[in-house]
């Protein structure tokens, strides 16, 4: 089982298609996923979840964008 998090802010229009894409890729690759969608509302949640922008996708705790893994500034605007 692969743990997938989609982190977003409320109302982000890119989040629903991102979720659909994650689900479609998992299905196509025959991978079982545990998908968690988390709405980030506070700076504390952003820090705790390493939220860099909406949407953020993490697989087993790592951002899917390798360069983003080095970012240490998180927040909600």
| Secondary structure element (H or E) that encloses residue 44, with its range | helix 43-49
In this predicted structure, the answer to whether residue 47 has a pLDDT above a threshold of 90 is yes
Residue 61, pLDDT score: 93
pLDDT in tens, 53-66: 999 999 999 999 88
Nearest to 76 by CA among 34, 48, 57: 48
Residue 9, pLDDT score: 96
Nearest to 22 by CA among 64, 54, 51: 64
């Amino acid at each position: 089982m692969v743990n997938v998090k989609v982190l977003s802010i409320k109302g982000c229009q890119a989040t629903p298609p991102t979720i659909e894409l994650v689900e479609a890729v998992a299905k196509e690759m025959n991978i079982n996923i545990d998908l968690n969608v988390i709405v980030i509302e506070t700076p504390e949640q952003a820090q705790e979840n390493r939220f860099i922008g909406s949407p953020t996708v993490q697989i087993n705790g790592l951002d899917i964008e390798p360069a983003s893994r080095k970012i240490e500034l998180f927040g909600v605007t």
